Amino acid sequence: MSDARRALGRRGEALVAAQLAAWGWPVRATNWRCPLGELDIVAEDGDWLVIVEVRTRRGARFGSPEDSVGWRKQTRLIRLGQAYVHAVGWEGPWRIDVVAVEFGSDGALDRLAHYPNVTEAM
């Protein structure tokens, strides 16, 4: 992954973490890693533990950010969520949300869209 792409991803994650805090969602972890992979953000929404996958794009050249979360990515997120819940001993309800972030070619935020419970249908 290029440095520019990595920096764009970090910028999107920082923006989303700030938005979650503004919503009153305490952020428990960022970039949590285990042998299965990495979770972008883990937060709390009331009694819910929320695994937040942040998808960031600059422009629509490669499609929308949310389009990149197919069934394979969802399956991976479920496994990572299960690993996190087990690792920290979480006993309450949990879900996986996706937040799509789009920046324009000028670097300004064009759109931030929140999709709660994306794996509900799985």
How many domains would you assign to the chain? Answer: 1
Residue 122 lies in a domain: no
What pTM value is reported for the model? 0.90
For position 8, which CATH number holds?
3.40.1350.10
pLDDT of 29 reads 97
Residue 121 lies in a domain: no
Residue 49 lies in a domain: yes
Residue 120 lies in a domain: no
pLDDT at 49 over 90: yes
50 with 94: CB under 8 angstroms?
yes
Mean pLDDT check: name the lowest of 14-23, 43-52, 65-74, 107-116: 65-74
Residue 48 lies in a domain: yes
Which domain, by its residues, includes 68?
Answer: 3-115
Residue 105 lies in a domain: yes
